[in-house]
Amino acid sequence: MSKLQSQRQELMTNSVIIALLAVVIIVLMSLFLVYEGRVALVSRFGRLKTNAKGNIIVYQPGLHFRVPVMDAVKNIDMRLQGFLVPSERIYTQEQKNVRVDYYVRYVVSNVERFYLSTGGSFFKANNILRGKINDTLREEIGKRELNEVITGQRGDIMTTLRTKSHQSAQNIGIKVIDVRIVKLDYPQEVSQSVYTRMREARERMATMYRSEGDSESEIIRAKGDADVVRILAKSKQEAADIRARGDQQAAEVYNQAYGKNTQFFEFLRGMELYDKSVGNDETLLTDLKSFKLFNRFINGADDSAS
């Protein structure tokens, strides 16, 4: 009897353990985790779950519940995505082919539209976006000549690519951040002509810059010469004015001094006259009495009246 009870007790224990395990498994299957930088959509029998207003429920990062087996979870990465397209052959206006490498950067902007258009597959989204960009790239390069594509209008092409690809990508819930041409190759047979055209274009630009520089140099030099002439004329005029004022003041001083002792200044001026009349190596012999200048010293009186 005790053996039968022991078997029953063991059976009950095993049943409880199995039930607990089943509960744990069901709970674990009911939970799902959405990581940072991602969102999730839940579909039940192929249809996305919606709220009371009929809008699709987008599950943000965190821990959420679902109905096991019935509900399927689709995670969508909301971080920056991108892909590189190598060597697409495209023809220019004159039917010369070029090889273009470019890359694309985008993010998912509308989760519902992205899921409905691509099934949440970034591989499919990349192919759709690549086809749209290739069409635009062929259109833009096809209406330009090879020289324009290589030398001057690559920036315009990239701007147009970004604008048109962003407009097209909105239909699949994507926002294009950047489209940029990485590499642009052209056939070997036209490389020399392209180099020649580029060299001629650079030489024309260099000639233009040198001409503008020479013109500016002449203008600056002429302005400098005019400034020098004007400054010198002004300086000479100021010097002449200062000299005239100095001469006037000197004359006034001389006149005032001469008026105080006329005899002395007459004698001094006469001596200066004799000094200038006789050279350094010359000797002058004269009779002092024949010169009124020395009467004062000879006779001791002023004979200027005689």
Residue 132 has pLDDT above 50, yes or no: yes
- Which residue, 185, 205, 230, sits at the end of a domain? 185
- Which residue, 57, 77, 97, sits at the end of a domain? 77
Q: Decide if 4 is inside a domain.
A: no
- Residues 51, 88, single domain; the answer is no
- Residues 68, 123, single domain; the answer is no
The total number of structural domains that make up the chain:
3
- Residues 127, 164, single domain; the answer is yes
pLDDT, position 100: 81
State if pTM tops 0.85.
no
Q: Determine the average pLDDT of the residues in 133-153.
A: 74
What is the radius of gyration, based on Cα positions, of the chain?
A: 54
The residue segments making up the domain with residue 269 are 262-299
Q: Decide if 220 is inside a domain.
A: no
Q: Decide if 180 is inside a domain.
A: yes
Q: Decide if 271 is inside a domain.
A: yes
Q: Per residue in 18-28, pLDDT tens?
A: 878 877 777 77
Contact 77, 41 (CB under 8 A): no
- Residues 86, 100, single domain; the answer is yes
Q: 284 CB contacts (<8 Å, ≥6 apart)?
A: 274, 277, 278
In whole angstroms, what is the distance from residue 8 CA to residue 6 CA?
5
